[in-house]
Amino acid sequence: MIRIRFLLRAGAAIAAAAAVAGCARERTAYETEDFTRSNTYSRSYPASQAAACDAARRALLSQGYNLDKAAQDGVTGHKNFQDEDGRHAQVIFNITCAPDTGSDGRSTVFVNALQDQYSIKKTSNSASVGVSVLGAVSLPFGAGDDSMVKTSSETITRKSFYDGFFGLLQQYLPASQAATPAASGPSPPASTPPPPPTSSTPPPSNSPTSTPSPSTSSPPPPASPSATPNPEAGPAPESPAP
């Protein structure tokens, strides 16, 4: 009887412990994602799409980031870090610029930064030397290879981190707008075709005009030979007196 009670109590304790462990289970990362409206990863600026992305490009370059892509609709860059313990990290910026619909030249900049952690993996290769009596013997000297192995990858969610980036983007925005006047300014009016060239000849009248008939008069008679002096001929002979 005592043994049965002991088994029942042990079973109840095990069940209670399992229940507590189930309640204390840590939630995974995606379970904390609630998709609430937040301005942590986006800002709206009174600038065109091209000017906003150009300001983002300048902001990354000013902080020592290497650009992987720089276009009018998006910028991508990365920067490498190493702490005192020798751990390596890389921050990757992904920036997308989109024009706001129905706004007067405004655009929204969407940013997310990814942090990758790396560790150094060392691989040593021992050398083998062949001896006729002992055979192949492995000696401790040889070559070593070091490689970087990614250990973790996580999106940076700290709001102050993005606030600093957006504030720097705002500082470079006037220079970017001046560098892209065609994209940031209002669209020029549509060009009208030039008027046709005017002619000095007056346009023909609608009233009928008379066409001159060819002249029926005979051509003038040829001039008499005596009427036209010939400079090569000598003086005319004088007639004898009667």
Average pLDDT, the chain: 74
Residue 38 lies in a domain: no
> Residue 13: is its pLDDT beyond 80?
no
Single-letter residue type at 44: S
Q: Which candidate, 61, 46, 137, 135, places its Cα nearest to that of 93?
A: 61
Residue 100 lies in a domain: yes
What is the number of domains present in the chain?
1
Q: Are 79 and 64 in contact (CB under 8 A)?
A: yes
* Whole-angstrom distance, CA of residue 51 vs CA of residue 179: 8
* Whole-angstrom distance, CA of residue 17 vs CA of residue 3: 21
Q: Are 167 and 88 in contact (CB under 8 A)?
A: no
Range of the domain at 68: 44-184
> Residue 193: is its pLDDT beyond 90?
no
Residue 195 lies in a domain: no
SS3 1: coil
Residue 157 lies in a domain: yes
Report pLDDT for 142. Answer: 56
* Whole-angstrom distance, CA of residue 94 vs CA of residue 108: 14
82-116 pLDDT, tens digit per residue, is 988 778 999 999 999 999 987 678 999 999 999 99
Residue 21 lies in a domain: no
| 161 membership: H or E segment, kind and range | helix 159-179
Kindly list the distances between the CA atom of residue 124 and the CA atoms of 87, 136, 147, 151, 180, in Å, as whole numbers in the listed order. 20, 18, 11, 21, 55
> Residue 124: is its pLDDT beyond 70?
no
Residue 163 lies in a domain: yes
Place of tokens 């370059």: 61
Residue 203 lies in a domain: no
Residue 120 lies in a domain: yes
pTM of the model: 0.57
27-83 pLDDT, tens digit per residue, is 666 777 778 778 899 999 999 999 999 999 999 999 999 999 999 999 999 999 998
Three-state helix/strand/coil letters over 19-75 = HHHHHCCCCCHHHHCCCCCCCCCEEEECCCHHHHHHHHHHHHHHCCCEEEEECCCEE
